[in-house]
């Protein structure tokens, strides 16, 4: 077992035994531990870091997943085309819910897509995946590019169209969140899309999408 994984195990055990930490965000405490652990790694090559991430993820615990995804994001300047295969493997084999999906896709995986926009065509196929978190990921992964207004070559509406009537509430919320992010950089485009689809879009996705509009616009859209 990699020494960093061993150290992570000790620190997680100590965190669990520390009753006082319950007063604070457990996620925040885990991220602090992750930051300290990363500084201890001498070999910060992408190959070594990703190997450590794989070992952490293979432990299949929530906290180790947080650390693994954090490590992966910290080496974002070293992503390349082959990184997609590694990240997709993690999404399919280690992510098991909306929390892990959102953490991974709004940081490491989302940043990879922002850097390598040609990968968007691959994410379109995720909308038909049997695993709901992969379908949710097809929308959530666009959020970093959208919020940085750096999504040329990426069409968010392609994803929302394909997920429009998904049977899973968390997927509906996911593409609603993506549209909400898009409304912050291109409100007119999203407004037109919502007007066009207001009669058929599931209400939970619709409400998420209009959350960032001004009060007047939001009220008008809600009345449609």
| pLDDT reported for residue 27 | 86
Least confident of 6-10, 21-25, 70-74: 21-25
Q: What is the mean pLDDT of the chain?
A: 94
**What gap in Å lies between CA 146 and CA 186, rounded to an integer?**
9
Above 70 in pLDDT, residue 24? no
Q: Which residue carries 């909308």 as its tokens?
A: 127
Q: Which of 9-13, 92-96, 141-145, 146-150 has the lowest mean pLDDT?
A: 9-13
CATH of domain 96-224: 1.25.10.90
pLDDT of 217 higher than 90:
yes
pLDDT category at 22 given cuts 50, 70, 90 is: low
Please say if the pLDDT value at position 19 is more than 70.
Answer: no
Q: Which two tokens stand for residue 140?
A: 């959530």
Q: How many H helices and E strands in the chain?
A: 15, 0
> How far is residue 71's CA from residue 34's CA, in Å, rounded to a whole number?
7
For the chain, helix, strand, coil in percent to 5 are 75, 0, 25
Distance between CA atoms of residues 89 and 100, nearest Å: 14
Decide: pTM greater than 0.75.
yes
Q: How far is CA 6 from the centre of its chain?
A: 27
Domain ranges of the chain: 1-78, 96-224
């Amino acid at each position: 077992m990699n020494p960093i994984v061993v150290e992570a195990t000790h620190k997680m055990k100590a965190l669990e035994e520390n009753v006082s930490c319950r007063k604070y965000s457990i996620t925040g405490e885990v991220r602090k531990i992750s930051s300290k652990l990363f500084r201890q790694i001498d070999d910060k090559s992408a190959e070594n870091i990703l190997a450590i991430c794989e070992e952490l993820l293979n432990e299949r615990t929530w906290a180790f997943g947080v650390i693994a995804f954090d490590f992966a994001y910290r080496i974002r300047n070293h992503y390349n085309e082959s990184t997609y295969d590694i990240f997709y493997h993690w999404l399919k084999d280690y992510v098991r819910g909306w929390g892990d999906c959102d953490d991974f896709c709004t940081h490491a995986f989302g940043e990879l897509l922002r850097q390598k926009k040609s990968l968007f065509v691959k994410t379109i196929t995720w909308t038909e995946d049997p695993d709901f978190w992969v379908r949710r990921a097809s929308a959530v992964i666009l959020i970093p590019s959208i919020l940085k207004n750096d999504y040329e070559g990426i069409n968010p509406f392609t994803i929302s169209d394909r997920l429009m009537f998904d049977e899973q509430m968390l997927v509906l919320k996911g593409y609603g969140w993506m549209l909400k992010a898009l409304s912050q950089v291109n409100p007119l485009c999203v407004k037109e899309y919502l007007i066009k689809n207001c009669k058929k879009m599931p209400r939970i996705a619709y409400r998420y999408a209009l959350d960032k509009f001004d009060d007047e616009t939001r009220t008008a859209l809600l009345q449609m």
